[in-house]
Structure 1
């Protein structure tokens, strides 16, 4: 289902609507507050934005939106979708929902024929499958950590050099 880049949504709001439709229950809450950080909608200085760590970028709704758009342009948005699904899973309050959510995440992102399979080594997949026998809030921690590191070390440096990031900086500097 490859699309050309000119068909990508123009605004973050349009992108968020598309992601909500595609990711269903895995997508962020309206407040984009699943990581336990308050979301700042205020404008930051260029210097502040350029000093952002990867973690800070993900904790900011506009930063997350820009990074997600970048991953989409590289056809690798399954990484951020998986990371966010794991964050949502870890914030599950009802233990009765853990098994269902765990199975959904596993089938969507981890099993070998998953529609949006993330790039995990065999050992991590095996450990995660074993964790699925008795799902706990931490059963995806290793896999999530691997994908986070992949995005931080590989995708994030490319994002910082991308036109998506340059446009983001131009639009959001106060």
Structure 2
């Protein structure tokens, strides 16, 4: 595995970033189908898309995919992946599956050196660790809320200025 990318030409890095964003969007669509994430798939006009709040963006399949593509281009798609994993977890009907799902989320997103570690403060991590002793449907609520706020206040404004968003709002509605 390459540890340093400084020696690569800028064009190669930009192409790699673009490919990662494209594949990330494809993989997200597959992941959403597997998880059964319910979203609106309404036909929207560009004007409708321009009025989206952050919450509305996440509620529409094309908005979520575009935002995920943008996050992938910024190498921060773990935030939306964590948010969606928490949504799926909260909709778990079987109490017997809670513990295994909670452990999976913890190991993938919360644990130090997790493969998709999200940026959470020490106190929030400790609360989650304590919640892991007896997982409930709300054990990730605080962390999910913090990541949602981070995306809304930090990533979403940059997304609105991105080419990904500009392409989304100017797409012809088919």
In the alignment, structure 2 segments of 5+ residues that lack a partner are none
Distance between the aligned counterparts of 2:7 and 2:36, measured in 1? 33
Distance between the aligned counterparts of 1:96 and 1:11, measured in 2? 49
Distance between the aligned counterparts of 2:2 and 2:168, measured in 1? 24
TM-score, normalized by length of structure 1?
Answer: 0.79
Instruction: Quickly say closer, same or farther: Cα 1:20–1:46, change in 2 above 3 A.
Output: closer
Distance between the aligned counterparts of 1:166 and 1:16, measured in 2? 21
Larger radius of gyration: 2
Name the residue aligned to 1:45.
45
CA RMSD of aligned residues (A): 5.7
Number of aligned residues = 174
Instruction: Quickly say closer, same or farther: Cα 1:24–1:76, change in 2 above 3 A.
Output: closer
Distance between the aligned counterparts of 2:173 and 2:10, measured in 1? 18
What do residues 40-95 of structure 1 show as CA deviations (whole Å, max 9, x unaligned)? Answer: 33332222211111010000000000000000000000000000000000000110
Distance between the aligned counterparts of 2:50 and 2:5, measured in 1? 25
Of the structure 1 ranges 10-19 and 37-46, higher mean CA displacement relative to structure 2 is found in: 10-19
Q: CA deviation at 1:35?
A: 11
In the alignment, structure 1 segments of 5+ residues that lack a partner are none
Q: CA deviation at 1:172?
A: 4.8
What do residues 117-143 of structure 1 show as CA deviations (whole Å, max 9, x unaligned)? Answer: 000000110101111110000000000
TM-score, normalized by length of structure 2?
Answer: 0.79
Of the structure 1 ranges 38-47 and 120-129, higher mean CA displacement relative to structure 2 is found in: 38-47
Of the structure 1 ranges 84-93 and 36-45, higher mean CA displacement relative to structure 2 is found in: 36-45
Of the structure 1 ranges 22-31 and 56-65, higher mean CA displacement relative to structure 2 is found in: 22-31
Of the structure 1 ranges 40-49 and 51-60, higher mean CA displacement relative to structure 2 is found in: 40-49
Q: CA deviation at 1:22?
A: 13
Of the structure 1 ranges 9-18 and 111-120, higher mean CA displacement relative to structure 2 is found in: 9-18
Of the structure 1 ranges 77-86 and 163-172, higher mean CA displacement relative to structure 2 is found in: 163-172
